[in-house]
Structure 1
Amino acid sequence: MSLKTRKSFQLGSLAKRNASDVLPLGDEHALQSAGAAFHALADTMPQMVWSTLPDGSHDYYNARWYEFTGVAEGSTDGEGWAGMFHEDDQPEAWKKWSHSLATGEPYEVEYRLRHHSGDYRWMIGRALPIIDENGEIQRWIGTCTDIEDQKRTALQNEILSQELSHRIKNIFAIVSGLISLTARADLAFAETARKLMERIAALGRAHEFVRPHTDRSRPKVDRMTLSTLLATIFEAYPAYSEGRIEIIGAEVPIDSKAATPVALIFHELATNAMKYGALAEPDGRVRLEVSEDNDMVCLGWGEFGKNAARVSSPAGFGTRLIDMAIKQQLGGSYERRWEAGGLVMQMFLKRNRLEQMA
């Protein structure tokens, strides 16, 4: 086999190439001329390997394909392969394959492929074009990789996650109920109980945003970011619907595990602003600015009012809660000061703690 031919068929790394990669080839019939060496290489791969002509007609499958499907050799050449897909997956597979043939873009799709037993197993199909020196597609080389076990595991984990999430919501409700009953029996506990129930409600809102969802229950956002989580937390405050709480700046991804400390921090800040700070006034407002600095995420909380009072007990429970969440759970630091309009606070959080907490 010539050096040129060997370079053309480095199939072992096919699935590892970037989406923009192509495989060079000068001879349209090099696949056939590669002979026994190529077929031996393809047949030893754990994936099913196939190739097509530029128009998408299949003209080669390795031994794994025939072992898996049990079909007669050559029976799935041309477009005969399409009948091997589950009928529900065929429209999407055809759509993506047609797009790749028309554009030359890499092909990738998940579908169910019929096993020789008659059962269907989930596969991920990928293909890259082989381009000649003139930029013309000579053929496509593709693989089918069995992902049935991963799909089953993912489904089981999703069901388990949804069940655990449902139980967590029930626990929030039970705890709030117990606190309410205790407060009614002990009036001296009423104010403390109210504050505690507000904090539990804030955690519940954060959990509702990040919990596993079905397509129907999922929040209508493209991805989970710090700004969208904060918007969910602030929805409980009238000042937010009135446009007096503003969130601006960078869209920083946030992991579900980081939602709890973030919810606690900003529940405390918003509640204190409603009681003592700028939001205690009809015209007072808050601006929260999100910015990025290398491996840190910076959050600037600024209150703007006319006669906001300074909190008399800066080392209270709420302050300790914020301190613990920022320093211990989010690996950050903060600075704060009181100005005429209310609290001004700068928080510096580790990006990796927000994006993925251990």
Structure 2
Amino acid sequence: MDASTRPPLSAAHLSAIVENSSDAIISIDLDGRIESWNAAAQRIYGWSADEMVGRNVWPLIPEDRRDEEAAILERVRNGDLVSRFETLRLGKGGMEIPVSVTVSPIRNADGLVIGASKIASDLREQYDLRQELLQSQRHFAALAQNIPQLAWMADSKGWIFWYNQRWYDYTGTTLEQTQGWGWRDVHHPDHVDRVAQKVQHSWDTGEPWEDTFPLRGKDGNYRWFLSRAQPMRDKDGKLVLWCGTNTDITEEREANERIRMLMREVNHRARNMLSTIQAIVHRSTKSANPELEASIINRIGALSANLDVLSESSWAGADVTAVVRSQIEHLAEKKAQVTIKGKDGIVFKPAVAEALGLAIHELATNAEKHGSLSVAGGGVIVDWRTESGDDGDMFVLDWTEHGGPEVVPSDHEGFGSIILNRYPRMVMQGMSKVDFARDGLRYTLRAPLARMLANGLDIAGNPVSA
């Protein structure tokens, strides 16, 4: 049966469709009086059919929307269909309700317009979601446009499609100029290829990106920026977006350079002072006690070696490997008999590094004079590591001599013993042990790792547990 032969729907059937619709369906005459009011209209607006049928539609219309309603009625009188539009209507308590409305003319059997049918969809839920979205957008815009960094976003392939206003204010460019790979134009020619290669690696692998380089401002001058980008992934782990920032570190670099210059000057003067002290010791003893003179001068030299190592990091800390190597330099060709097997990447606080350096110097000097380094076939193994135990992570250093003459314990505690035994307790809160074994002296140092590390980090910047 096609549409032309299908019998028309009964009035009861049509009434049921209207009454069970989820949208408010209202009919009015050309003067705006309400003639029908379905259940959904009551649910949305709050008035019952008994309250509204026969009344004018104006109680539903906000004061500032009355011209809108008058224009709608005029179009309906002209036989026009008013397509879906969004507006506000009033509920029973006077609350404004966002709705989507379609208005159609109602015609009699002769085709004359005798009224209007209004179908209204409740938009409150969508409106709330839209408001939340707009609020989120406003929050994002407020954050993105007011952070001190230059900020940008790129798609999963690294194509940059958005910059914040600070980027444009600094570079003086437009999105058309710098979208995609256009940002290369504001990079310094000495750095751009390196930067592009490194960032492309991150685009390809999905690894976070970090680099430091100069960017040209709109005034033509370059400033240094620390730049980072993090990959954003969806719930399935697929990379969908990159978010990046450029932080101006020009003043910080300049301040650090001034500090480095000052530290170099201080270290230079400190070394000169140590040299002066060595000269004073030499002249004061006048070779009356050559052994004492050499001992004092060598220990001052150990302090100077520590100073050189710490100067490299501006006194932020010293790597254990660098400390050990610096304190065997005075052995000259005999340092070839020393085997270093320690764990790399352990950075100690300056005071700890100084104490360790003096201990290594003392051991090396004794080995050269009396121990395994006093003979051609002897040797030393210096090994250090970290160990986990009930007391937390510990730093353990072993100095093991072999192939030397038989070791004879000293019958008194000299300054060297103080350096080897008391310093670990005072500076490192650790313990030391000296074993005068027949085949060579063995010295072991154990101390809590967390107390010794520079800022609680290893050389790679990774936290080390206490």
> Which TM-score applies when normalising by structure 1?
0.76
1:253 aligned partner: 346
1:331 aligned partner: 429
Query: Is 1:265 aligned to 2:359, yes or no?
Result: yes
Query: Is 1:356 aligned to 2:446, yes or no?
Result: no
Q: Secondary structure at the match of 2:398?
A: strand
Aligned length: 316
Q: Which of 266, 274, 281 is the aligned partner of 1:179?
A: 281
Q: Which of 319, 322, 331 is the aligned partner of 2:420?
A: 322
Return the letter of the residue paired with 1:251: D
Q: What is the alpha-carbon distance in structure 1 between the residues aligned to residue 197 and residue 398 of structure 2?
A: 46
Aligned runs of 1:104-253 on 2, under 5 Å? 104-132=206-234, 137-184=239-286, 187-212=287-312, 225-237=319-331, 240-243=334-337, 245-251=338-344, 253=346
| Contact 1:276–1:310 (Cα < 8 Å) also in 2 | no
| Contact 1:179–1:197 (Cα < 8 Å) also in 2 | yes
Q: Secondary structure at the match of 2:288?
A: helix
Return the letter of the residue paired with 1:127: A
Q: What is the alpha-carbon distance in structure 1 between the residues aligned to residue 368 and residue 174 of structure 2?
A: 74
> Which protein has greater RCO, CA pairs closer than 8 Å, 6+ apart?
1
Q: What is the alpha-carbon distance in structure 2 between the residues aligned to residue 357 and residue 276 of structure 1?
A: 38
Query: Is 1:291 aligned to 2:385, yes or no?
Result: yes
| Contact 1:277–1:310 (Cα < 8 Å) also in 2 | no
| Contact 2:150–2:246 (Cα < 8 Å) also in 1 | yes
Return the letter of the residue paired with 1:89: H
Deviations along 1:66-115, one digit per CA (max 9) or x if unpaired, are 23333356443343322222332312221122222222322222222233
| Runs (5+) with no aligned partner, structure 2 | 1-132, 457-466
Query: Is 1:56 aligned to 2:154, yes or no?
Result: no
CA 1:77/1:317 → structure 2, altered by over 3 Å: closer, same or farther?
closer
Q: CA deviation at 1:276?
A: 3.0
CA 1:318/1:224 → structure 2, altered by over 3 Å: closer, same or farther?
closer
Q: What is the alpha-carbon distance in structure 2 between the residues aligned to residue 68 and residue 330 of structure 1?
A: 49
**Stretch of structure 1 that moved more, 94-103 or 249-258:** 249-258
Q: What is the alpha-carbon distance in structure 2 between the residues aligned to residue 44 and residue 315 of structure 1?
A: 66
| Runs (5+) with no aligned partner, structure 1 | 1-30, 215-222
CA 1:172/1:119 → structure 2, altered by over 3 Å: closer, same or farther?
same
Return the letter of the residue paired with 2:380: V
Q: CA deviation at 1:319?
A: 1.1
CA 1:43/1:168 → structure 2, altered by over 3 Å: closer, same or farther?
same
1:95 aligned partner: 197
CA 1:290/1:108 → structure 2, altered by over 3 Å: closer, same or farther?
closer
Q: Secondary structure at the match of 2:347?
A: coil
| Contact 2:405–2:439 (Cα < 8 Å) also in 1 | yes
Q: Secondary structure at the match of 1:56?
A: coil
Q: CA deviation at 1:328?
A: 1.1
| Contact 1:128–1:141 (Cα < 8 Å) also in 2 | yes
Tell me how large the CA RMSD over aligned residues is.
3.2
Deviations along 1:16-65, one digit per CA (max 9) or x if unpaired, are xxxxxxxxxxxxxxx99x86564344224332222234443332222222
Q: What is the alpha-carbon distance in structure 1 between the residues aligned to residue 143 and residue 211 of structure 2?
A: 24
**Stretch of structure 1 that moved more, 117-126 or 260-269:** 117-126
Q: What is the alpha-carbon distance in structure 2 between the residues aligned to residue 352 and residue 227 of structure 1?
A: 18
Q: Secondary structure at the match of 1:236?
A: helix
Identity of aligned residues (%): 28
Q: What is the alpha-carbon distance in structure 2 between the residues aligned to residue 82 and residue 242 of structure 1?
A: 50
| Contact 1:280–1:308 (Cα < 8 Å) also in 2 | no
| Contact 2:162–2:175 (Cα < 8 Å) also in 1 | no
Q: What is the alpha-carbon distance in structure 2 between the residues aligned to residue 73 and residue 309 of structure 1?
A: 77
Aligned runs of 1:26-41 on 2, under 5 Å? 38-41=140-143
Q: CA deviation at 1:135?
A: 5.8
Runs of 4+ in 1 over 6 A off after TM superposition: none
| Contact 2:373–2:404 (Cα < 8 Å) also in 1 | no
CA 1:308/1:108 → structure 2, altered by over 3 Å: closer, same or farther?
same
Return the letter of the residue paired with 1:124: L
Q: Secondary structure at the match of 1:71?
A: coil
Return the letter of the residue paired with 1:248: K
Larger CA Rg, structure 1 vs 2: 2
Q: CA deviation at 1:239?
A: 7.0
1:23 aligned partner: none
Q: What is the alpha-carbon distance in structure 1 between the residues aligned to residue 197 and residue 285 of structure 2?
A: 61
**Stretch of structure 1 that moved more, 64-73 or 156-165:** 64-73
Deviations along 1:126-154, one digit per CA (max 9) or x if unpaired, are 22334456765444322222222222222
